[in-house]
Copies of this chain bind each other. A is one copy, B any other.
Amino acid sequence: MSAHPLEPSREQLSTWFRQVETTVLDHLDGMATADSGGPLGEAGLALADEVSTPLPDEPLEGGLTEVLRLVGRAAEATLNTTSPGYLAYVPGGGIPTAALADTWSNVFNRFTGLAAAAPALCRLEADVLTWLAHEFGYDDRARGLLTSGGSLANFSAVVAAREKLLGEDVDLRTATAYTSGQVHHCIAKCTRLAGLPFANLRQVDVDDRWRLDPDALRKAIAADRAAGQRPFLIVASSGTTNTGAIDPLPELAAIAKEEDLWLHVDGAYGAAFVLCDEGRRRLEGLGEADSITFDPHKGLFLPYGTGCLLVKDGEDLRRAHRVGASYLQDFDALDRSREAPSATDYGPELSRDYRGLRIWLPFMLHGTRVFRETLAEKIEVARYIHDELVELVEGGAPLEIVAEPQLSIGAFRLKRRDGESLDDWNRRNTRLQDGINDRQRVRLSSTNLPVHDGAAFTLRTCVLSFRTHEEHGRKFLEDLRGALEDLT
């Protein structure tokens, strides 16, 4: 019907939608038995060369079929973050129904940065954020902001804290923030982006379970005050990436109160567990924080591109982000007091994708209970893996457990041999990890953790995909045993 090439006919578009539908449904059919990642390294680079295609003046020959072939090939060289055996980094399940929301959002393409321009759509987003805020222990003063991920959520929290406690008239070289050495590296990036020198993010010691040590924190703050610095922010983790450690939130909240500091909790990986009873118990004190980051693209199993910041007193966030503009004046004639909050008043963006629908629609379509139950199951699977590891160790396997899961991440490694050099030990652990991953059923990733003479290569298991069940924990344990045998 339409003459413009960017507005294909209904028939053409329908054909294209069906092609993509078939592609993704076929892909999902294979998911239960999918391995956890194709070739990276050399093979991946070769594949990159293979699929790279000069941008054509005219439509690519072969049309969408060829386009999907190229992208499908490209996907062969990836970590399969959505596969059930993926226990590396933090899994990203990507529930398929989120695609329904994005298809609607892309085609309707409404501007949702200001509630005045789309009051009812922004209300649906606000409904989700309000619900989440209450689940996390906040009251109606709270405000939420959907971001592309945890990094930008953490950044907006840092900015809100800076704005509230330091204001404009301060030399940021005197401002100091506190976190554990186990925190996600994006916190260092965030404080630097916000104008602090890297060194002003103080790394405080942790206890034997990798949790920020409150006494060490007190001392660090006191030392900085004595030196004329201006402490303003504590960043705790509720589930570190390395070992899943939950910092002692109630104690940290008390310190923040005494010292008049902002307490932010980076729960990008772990805070969503508050939605299930067991997780809520373990995350005691979370609601006392001034702000919380959590990633719906992790703990709510959504596709990448969905982070969330919750701030206990929404006005703190608004004051740090609201800027007016003359070309937006038409909206000022409307009654803003009864509107849903506008994302642009609470974060750095103006135009943005309508992220709200991506959460709202799956909650509506599946209900909230299944999310709670699925999170509870992840804790159980992680517990199962841990119990089996303990049994292995007790049975004489040359392993040591480095971190018992505080939520769904655990860490372990080969025990160091008497007199073994750090390098040799790390090499053995690297080989152990390769031995597991090369079996292509589960995938682990590693980290470094401090030991007396350096940093020890340590294996992690992170259970978070909605597709990962006890059977995949069992596969991991089988492959661990196999890899251990191969090592000896």
Q: Mark A173-192, 1 if CB is under 8 A from B, else 0.
A: 10000000000111011101
Whether the pair A24, B107 counts as a contact (CB closer than 8 A) is yes
Taking a contact as CB atoms under 8 Å apart, the answer to whether B445 and A327 are in contact is: yes
Chain B proximity of A438: nearest CB distance (Å): 13
On whether the beta carbons of B109 and A94 are closer than 8 Å, the reply is yes
Which residues of chain B are within 8 angstroms of A304 by Cβ–Cβ distance? 109-112, 351-354
Is A349 a contact of B152 with CB atoms below 8 Å? yes
Q: Would A56 and B151 count as touching, CB distance under 8 A?
A: no
Interface string of A395-432 (1 = CB under 8 A from B): 00000000000000000000000000000000000000
30 pairs across A/B with beta carbons < 8 Å? A4-B466, A7-B96, A8-B96, A16-B97, A17-B17, A24-B108, A48-B120, A48-B340, A52-B123, A55-B368, A58-B367, A59-B364, A78-B117, A78-B118, A78-B120, A81-B110, A81-B111, A89-B327, A94-B109, A102-B102, A102-B106, A151-B349, A171-B172, A172-B172, A172-B195, A185-B323, A193-B193, A241-B327, A298-B351, A329-B446
Contacts of A64 in B (CB 8 A): 100, 365
**Which chain A residues (86-110) contact chain B, with CB distance < 8 Å?**
89-90, 92-100, 102-110
Q: State A331–B172 Cα separation when bound (angstroms).
A: 34
Encoded as 1 (CB less than 8 Å from any B CB) or 0, chain A from 252 to 294 comes to 0000000000000000000000000000000000000000000
A335 within 8 Å of B by Cβ? yes
Chain B residues with Cβ below 8 Å from A340 are: 48
Assuming the contacts A109-B81, A124-B71, A353-B305, asked whether A10 and B25 have C-beta atoms less than 8 A apart, the reply is yes
Q: How far is the CB of A311 from chain B (nearest CB, A)?
A: 16
Q: Is the CB of A47 closer than 8 A to any CB of chain B?
A: yes
Complex CA distance for A291 and B351, rounded to whole angstroms = 20
Q: Is A29 an interface residue (CB 8 A)?
A: yes
Given contacts A51-B123, A78-B111, A195-B195, list 5 more A-B pairs with CB under 8 A: A2-B32, A7-B31, A17-B100, A77-B120, A109-B303
Q: For the complex, give the distance between the alpha carbons of A365 and B192 in Å.
A: 40
* A41 interfacial contact with B, CB 8 Å: yes
Q: Are the C-beta atoms of A148 and B10 separated by less than 8 Å?
A: no
